[in-house]
Amino acid sequence: MKRFRLKSVLVVLFLSTVLISCSNDDDNAESTVKTKTAFVTKIEGPATGKVNDELSYDVTYLVDNACGEFDKIAETTIGETKGLQVVAKYPSELCTQQVPDPKKTVYKFKATAKGTIEIKFRKSETEFLTQKVVIE
């Protein structure tokens, strides 16, 4: 009987330790960052390329305030047209630097077949900015 009681106490202590150590305190740091679509103003890069060659394009975009930073490039759809969009992240605190400068990021692309490809980035709520690339 003593062994059963001792094992029961040890199991309860172990489970208590596991449950207490699994708190979600670290989640608060992640939630202070807000993300929003940043509209693209210019795409610069090669107009031609070869199959399986990686092409790089400089993408210029505008953020809401000077504290905005690049987060990622994501897929998006306007109507039935698919394209890409730049997503910027903003700290939740007030930004004291209010005048934003255009920012740049690099988009890398590798074609797997010959033909003309359109790289489309969101430039407004209803339009894409398009860069045509001929793959030989």
pLDDT, averaged in runs of 10, over the chain (136 residues) = 65 62 54 88 96 96 90 95 95 75 94 94 95 95
Cα separation, 5 vs 11, whole angstroms: 10
Cα separation, 98 vs 72, whole angstroms: 22
Residue 61 identity (one-letter amino acid): Y
The pLDDT value recorded for residue 20 is 66
Supply the pTM of this predicted model: 0.72
**H helices present in the chain, as ranges:** 2-21, 27-31
The pLDDT value recorded for residue 100 is 82
Cα separation, 59 vs 41, whole angstroms: 8
The pLDDT value recorded for residue 11 is 62
The pLDDT value recorded for residue 76 is 95
**What DSSP letter does each residue of 35-66 carry, written as one string?**
EEEE-EEEEE--SEE-TT-EEEEEEEE--SST
